[in-house]
Amino acid sequence: MYNNEREVADKAEQMLEASLRSKTSSFADHVNRKEGDKSLKDATSVAKLKKYGTARAGNQKFFMRSLAIKMAKHGFIQNFGVDGVRDAGSRTRHRPQETTYNFKAHVMKMAAQPFIDDAVEASGVKEFVMNEIVRLRSEAIMVDIRRIISNI
């Protein structure tokens, strides 16, 4: 039983992050990944909360607004796939010797691998958040109605 939406948001973050980590743990690291570059295994989830009231007045409340997944952009590209034309350009290679070369525009197709949707479904976070937020907000409505009726 959770007492406020901040606790629900923290639990939802943990649930989604654990599911994402289990889905991405089997992914191989990119061969050319540099030391500081992000890996898909570093995916996190972040809940946004809106604060109303003040702690000093004793009426401070938090309302959960959203739950987002944060990861390197190539994770989203892998999840949704690509079907388009890649622009022409040039690249410079530095090893074993510096060489600059040009390449033509070409079709790029990459099949979608919807691991994000699988992770969200496996986590059960949608049902958890929906049930807990509805319970907390309906309790708050009932308290407000009871307070209004008692003042009449």
pLDDT digits over 31-46, tens only? Answer: 667 777 778 888 899 9
Q: Answer yes or no: is 106 within a domain.
A: no
Does residue 105 form part of some domain?
A: no
Tell me how many domains the chain contains.
1
> For residue 88, is it within any domain?
no
Could you read off the pLDDT of 94-115 as tens digits, one per residue?
Answer: 989 999 999 999 999 999 989 9
The reply to whether omega before 114 is within 30° of 0 (cis) is: no
**Residue 127: which H helix or E strand, with range?**
helix 125-150
Task: Point out the residues of the chain with pLDDT beneath 70.
Answer: 30-32
Cβ burial of 119 (10 Å; 0-12, 13-18, 19+) is buried
pTM to 2 decimal places: 0.78
In a domain, 127, yes or no: yes
**Domain membership flag for residue 70:** yes
Contact indicator for 37, 73 with CB cutoff of 8 Å: no
Specify if 13 maps to a domain.
yes
Structural domain of residue 56, as residue ranges?
Answer: 5-29+38-79+114-150
